[in-house]
Homo-oligomer: A and B are copies of this chain.
Amino acid sequence: MNIGQAADASGVSAKMIRYYEQIGLIRPPSRTGSNYRVYGSDEVHVLRFIRRARTLGFSIEETGALLALWQDKTRASGEVRDIASEHIAALETKIAELESMVGTLKHLVHCCHGDNRPDCPILDDLAGTTSKTKGH
Identical subunits present: 2
What residues on B are CB-neighbors of A77 within 8 Å?
A: 112-120, 122-123
What residues on B are CB-neighbors of A8 within 8 Å?
A: none
What residues on B are CB-neighbors of A114 within 8 Å?
A: 77-78, 81
Query: With an 8 A cutoff between CB atoms, is A2 at the interface?
Result: no
Query: With an 8 A cutoff between CB atoms, is A108 at the interface?
Result: yes
Q: Is the CB of A102 within 8 A of B108?
A: no
Question: Contact check: which of B85, B92, B109 meets A81 at CB < 8 Å?
Answer: B109
Considering the chains assembled together, what is the distance between the CA atoms of A108 and B127 in angstroms?
45
Query: With an 8 A cutoff between CB atoms, is A80 at the interface?
Result: yes
Q: Is the CB of A56 within 8 A of B101?
A: yes
A49 touching B128 in the complex, CB below 8 Å, given contacts A80-B120, A122-B84: yes
Considering the chains assembled together, what is the distance between the CA atoms of A109 and B81 in angstroms?
6
